[in-house]
A = this chain, B = another copy of it.
Amino acid sequence: MTVRYLEDFSPGQIYGSGRLTLDAERIKRFAEEFDPQPFHLDEAAARNTIFKGLAASGWHTAALTMRLLVQGELRPAGGIVGAGFDEFRWPKPVRPGDELKVESEILEVRPSKSRPDQGIVKVRTATLNQNGEAVQINVGNLIVLRRPR
């Protein structure tokens, strides 16, 4: 798959990804390193928390979303480089056994005023589970290279 320059993106385009499945073992391993809280570490302890059962750290969901994006259809020139997000939320927890995929919709494309070789692509990315429910939604601003003249 070839890369896409700023000029190749336009609002309304939708890009997909492969899928990956998360198990309890990986949820716990990530949490031990980065988010050691009972609801991410232990099934029994998780039952009496707001999550009412083991759930992946939101940062684990975010990191896996990134992997799906990097290996997915988007392929912006210069790589997937995010400047930040206008919106970012986790509407539902990710549970052991969930299968995730991402869908990205291009919302806006604009050349940079200060950097003639690059621009900003605003993308809405939804991370969906096997039931089509969104477990993460964000609207991010990617830095994308312009086509060399």
Taking the closest CB of chain B, its distance from the CB of A75, in whole angstroms, is 11
Question: Is residue A97 contacting chain B, with contact meaning CB distance below 8 A?
Answer: no
A37 surroundings in chain B (CB, below 8 A): 70, 79-80
The reply to whether A90 and B83 form a contact with Cβ atoms under 8 Å apart is: yes
The reply to whether B79 and A38 form a contact with Cβ atoms under 8 Å apart is: yes
Count this chain's copies in the assembly. 2
A83 surroundings in chain B (CB, below 8 A): 89-90
Query: Which of B38, B88, B90 contacts A88, CB < 8 Å?
Result: B88
Question: Is residue A78 contacting chain B, with contact meaning CB distance below 8 A?
Answer: yes
Given contacts A82-B58, A85-B85, A88-B85, contact A66 B143 (CB under 8 A): no
The reply to whether B63 and A35 form a contact with Cβ atoms under 8 Å apart is: yes
The reply to whether B78 and A49 form a contact with Cβ atoms under 8 Å apart is: yes
Cα–Cα distance between A86 and B85 once the two chains are bound (Å): 8
Which residues from chain A sit less than 8 Å from chain B, CB to CB? 30, 33-39, 49-51, 57-59, 62-64, 66-67, 70-71, 78-90, 118, 143
